[in-house]
Structure 1
Amino acid sequence: MWIIGLCIVAVLVVYLTYWLNKWSNPKCNGVLPPGSMGLPLIGETLQLIVRSDSLDLHAFIKKRAQRYGPIFRTSLVGRPVVLSTDLEFNHYIVKQEGSLVEMWYLDTFAKFLGMEGENRMSALGNVHKYIRSITLNHLGADAVKEKLLPQMEEIVNKALQTWSSQPSVDMRDAASKMLLDFSARIFFSYDAEKLLQLKLSEKFANTLGCFMSFPLNIPGTTYHKCLKSQKEALSMLRKIVKEKITSPEKRSENLLDQAIDDMEKEKFLSEDFIVKLLFAILFASFETSVSVLLALKLLAEHPAALQELTDEHEAILKNRENPNSVLTWDEYKSMTFTFQVINEVLRMGNVSPGLLRKALKDIEFKGYTVPAGWAIMLVNSALQVNPNTFKDPLAFNPRRWKDLDPLVVSKNFMPFGGGIRLCSGAEYIKAFMATFLHVLVTKYRWTNVKGGTIARTPALEFIDGLQTKFFVKNN
């Protein structure tokens, strides 16, 4: 019997050795980028989600780029991935969508947003064209110019009036609610009171952990909690969509109403698709709250920049015939220093860890081969903190944008993605931030009294929130 036992052990050892070797050295028709696949199945996920308390590039990415070079391989949540901090490779990949690569999400986040399999909203062709068209129609520059700007000012005024009447405000919660309230108003005409009853902002806040969590749907796990919150949020949105479909007399010209009207001519549009589309767009808007918090933190810590910003906006008021009139498009476009501040906030605080793509074919670049089926993470945040492009990159210096070459900026600054996937809500996000800063510095003072600790996990977050006190200015 002991001979049989030894044989079984020997077979197991041989099999495990073969399996571990196969895991560590994936099959490739060329030369794989250098790197490590980490532990079987787990890969190096745990190292990536360890908190890094800095605005700098996440320690996992920075250390491996220093060790292996700007293009390296790893394994995350059970998937082989090539990470790139290489400028040329990143620009090459974003231009190859539909031929060499396609948009991709980590499995957990794809399922979470309903983007897996045939229902994946990242599909090319008519689906992508439609999504881009409808979002540009309601969030693009024309929409901001013609109707959204005064609405933004209205909701920011209302929010700041409320915040200034309180001893202090948890800005992580307050900013996300402000953005969600406004998005819900323009997407499906829901007011703040209805949203408060639904507690939709709480559901979105509970979903952020899905970015890098393991797809283990077991009670107690982060993924299980995320799915529960997602299910509740989708259920709320489904009720809203059904209400609109069954009550055509309540329709207006918002995004949801247009999507419902388009169901007759677009075959892929279904009730379920519209629900998930709403969820994805609201989620993207919700994430913008981190940029608002970062602006409050950095401006409070840099009084010279705050004074220059204040001077620019007070000059706008002085140049008006009526100081109490609403913000105009021409005034918005004249905010030179404001845009420098926004660019600097977005450069330092890129929320997303990177752009994700999936190789459709073997990709050869600089002597390396990315096998078909592998994921590719383009770490553009690395370009935005590169000291060769941005001197002293971890210093908040809005003035740097005055002298930067526009061509250099276009290649190294991509907070809204790139290629055909350039975010169609980019103007909307910048306009909201500019409007928020306009109202803030002309009517209020503030001090950050607690919190403000920044971390990357690898997405940017305020781990202890930001407790802020607002004061009405005495003009």
Structure 2
Amino acid sequence: MLSVGVGLSTIVVALATIFITHWVRKWRNPKCDNGVLPPGSMGFPLIGETIQLLIPNRSLELHPFISKRVQRYGSVFRTNVAGKQVVITTDPKFNHYIITEEGKSVELWYLDTFSSMLPIYAVGSVQKYIRSITLTHFGVEGIRVNLLPQVEQLIQKTLCDWSTKPIVDVKHDATCMIFDFTLKQLYGYDWEKSTEIRHSEKFSSLLHGLLSLPLDIPGTTFHQCVKDRKELLSMLKDIVEERMNSADKFRGDFLDRAMEDMKTEKFLTAEFLSNLMFGILFGNFEPISSVILLTLKLLSEHPSILEELTAENEAIVRNRKNPSSPLSWEEYKSMTFTLNVVNEVLRLGNVAPGLLRKVTKDIKFNGYTVPAGWNILIVTSAHQLNPEAFKDPVKFNPSRWKDLDPTVISKNFMPFGGGVRQCAGADYARAFVCTFLHVLVTKYSWTKIKGGKIVRRPILDFVDGVHIKLTQKSS
């Protein structure tokens, strides 16, 4: 009996070994029925190469996960991230093609963590509506007519408050400023008059949860992220429903416009609008605050650039009939070097890790095939750090923008995405940061106290933030 038991155990172990070996081999060598897959490695079973992708990189250079594989496999390679089969591309021609294939052979795709946090997936007329209403409020005309003076007033008040503090945590305080201002634009929220805890305090950690493993278990970062999201969405939905019950009052904010559109757009519901406002809110506060943070760090390290930036903005103030007049649209448009500074920070910062698409029809490129069902990550940072397009690509040099060919810019500079899904808030983000810099350098000086160590995982972050002491200039 003992020998029979041992024999059965041996057979079971052998079969299990064969099965696991076959499964691992199949994982590492996925099939492509209609061609040859790009070269690459699928990493460990189940987790793929997720861990390698999330290993922090402490510089502005292209993430080592990308650069090492480009050297090994070329500009287009395959991998597996969080259990998803992904083709990563740094090839300009292929990337341009993928961006133009939206709605044809590719569609928008998010990692599971992002999909669960940002539930609106819009195509066709719904996507066009979302883009239209966002541009109406946050686009060029909205900035020129309404937002620019409001943004300047907000920044003046915020920086005045900062100057009274012994030390300012720029990341935290800038995030609060942008978050609360965006809520005000969406539905008239005024945190100074609110009896609740500032919403920015409760939800500023959302982005970090998106970069964690999607384990919705108490005690995990992702679980807290899910909890925060539910709380914010519930709050936004209550506000929408309250507004629906008092439609006779007109406040002139984003939600009022959406309420009016509910008469003709049947897909507009309280749940849809709460999700839409959440998406706009999320797309605003984190990227803008990160750009402000990186700008202050880089200007602190490059005094000659800060001097030129200050000279341009002080000249604007001197040329006014009344130095206390608010920043005009014409003055904003004349801030050439300031905009170059912002563009250079956007180029280096690469706040978003790239553009994600899902393949709906087989795509063939340079002898390789990306099968339907696979996913594509377009690494925009590879373009923006391309030495052929930008000399000394990791050097902070705003003056380079004076002589850059517009064609080079259009093909290699994509901080706000590209194609039909280019961020509708791009002009608003630039205007906000430019106005922040205008008020900052004309009225204040600052000293960096601590922080400033960069980390990418792969989204731009700072190990310990950037802490400054702000001092008001003598008039």
Give the TM-score of the pair, scaled to structure 1: 0.96
Q: Partner residue of 2:339?
A: 339
Q: Partner residue of 1:2?
A: 6
Alpha-carbon deviation of 1:320?
Answer: 1.1
Q: Partner residue of 2:16?
A: 12
Root-mean-square deviation (Å): 1.3
Mean Cα deviation higher: 69-78 or 230-239: 230-239
In the TM superposition, 1:250-289 aligns within 5 A as 250-287=249-286, 288-289=288-289
State how far apart, in whole Å, the 1-side matches of 2:377 and 2:121 are.
16
State how far apart, in whole Å, the 1-side matches of 2:133 and 2:460 are.
28
State how far apart, in whole Å, the 2-side matches of 1:290 and 1:169 are.
15
The percentage of counterpart residues that share the same residue type is: 56
In the TM superposition, 1:395-414 aligns within 5 A as 395-414=395-414
In the TM superposition, 1:76-95 aligns within 5 A as 76-95=81-100
Alpha-carbon deviation of 1:195?
Answer: 6.2
State how far apart, in whole Å, the 2-side matches of 1:17 and 1:448 are.
55
Alpha-carbon deviation of 1:236?
Answer: 2.1
Q: Is residue 170–residue 467 contact of structure 1 (8 Å, CA) maintained in 2?
A: yes
State how far apart, in whole Å, the 1-side matches of 2:321 and 2:113 are.
54
Alpha-carbon deviation of 1:243?
Answer: 2.3
Question: Aligned pair in 2 of structure 1 residues 274, 198: CA closer, same or farther (>3 Å)?
Answer: farther
The counterpart of 1:60, out of the listed 65, 78, 82, is 65
Q: Is residue 206–residue 225 contact of structure 1 (8 Å, CA) maintained in 2?
A: no
Letter of the structure 1 residue corresponding to residue 31 of structure 2: K
Letter of the structure 2 residue corresponding to residue 323 of structure 1: P
Q: Partner residue of 2:111?
A: 106
- 1:171 equivalent in alignment to 2:170: yes
Alpha-carbon deviation of 1:263?
Answer: 2.0
Describe the superposition over 1:292-318 as per-residue Cα deviations: whole angstroms up to 9, x where unpaired.
011111111111111111111111111
State how far apart, in whole Å, the 1-side matches of 2:114 and 2:36 are.
30
Describe the superposition over 1:264-308 as per-residue Cα deviations: whole angstroms up to 9, x where unpaired.
321221111111111110011111100001111111111111111
Alpha-carbon deviation of 1:3?
Answer: 2.0
- 1:123 equivalent in alignment to 2:122: yes
Runs of 4 or more above 3 Å deviation: none
Alpha-carbon deviation of 1:193?
Answer: 1.8
Letter of the structure 1 residue corresponding to residue 17 of structure 2: V
State how far apart, in whole Å, the 2-side matches of 1:205 and 1:49 are.
20
Q: Partner residue of 1:305?
A: 305
Question: Aligned pair in 2 of structure 1 residues 211, 64: CA closer, same or farther (>3 Å)?
Answer: farther
Q: Is residue 191–residue 198 contact of structure 2 (8 Å, CA) maintained in 1?
A: no
Q: Is residue 180–residue 199 contact of structure 2 (8 Å, CA) maintained in 1?
A: no
Give the match's secondary structure for 1:259. Answer: helix
Q: Is residue 77–residue 213 contact of structure 1 (8 Å, CA) maintained in 2?
A: no
Letter of the structure 1 residue corresponding to residue 348 of structure 2: M
State how far apart, in whole Å, the 2-side matches of 1:197 and 1:382 are.
43
Mean Cα deviation higher: 376-385 or 205-214: 205-214
Give the TM-score of the pair, scaled to structure 2: 0.96
Letter of the structure 1 residue corresponding to residue 362 of structure 2: D
Letter of the structure 1 residue corresponding to residue 146 of structure 2: K
Describe the superposition over 1:383-408 as per-residue Cα deviations: whole angstroms up to 9, x where unpaired.
11112211111111100111111100
Describe the superposition over 1:96-119 as per-residue Cα deviations: whole angstroms up to 9, x where unpaired.
0000101110011101122xxxxx
Q: Is residue 310–residue 442 contact of structure 2 (8 Å, CA) maintained in 1?
A: yes
Give the match's secondary structure for 2:361. Answer: coil
Q: Partner residue of 1:47?
A: 52
Mean Cα deviation higher: 6-15 or 327-336: 6-15
State how far apart, in whole Å, the 1-side matches of 2:180 and 2:18 are.
60
Alpha-carbon deviation of 1:196?
Answer: 7.6
State how far apart, in whole Å, the 1-side matches of 2:121 and 2:309 are.
39
Letter of the structure 2 residue corresponding to residue 333 of structure 1: K
Describe the superposition over 1:347-395 as per-residue Cα deviations: whole angstroms up to 9, x where unpaired.
0011111011100111101111111111111001111111221111111
Q: Is residue 60–residue 348 contact of structure 2 (8 Å, CA) maintained in 1?
A: yes
Q: Is residue 237–residue 274 contact of structure 2 (8 Å, CA) maintained in 1?
A: yes
Gaps in structure 1 of 5+ consecutive residues = 115-120
Give the match's secondary structure for 1:321. Answer: coil
Q: Is residue 210–residue 225 contact of structure 2 (8 Å, CA) maintained in 1?
A: no
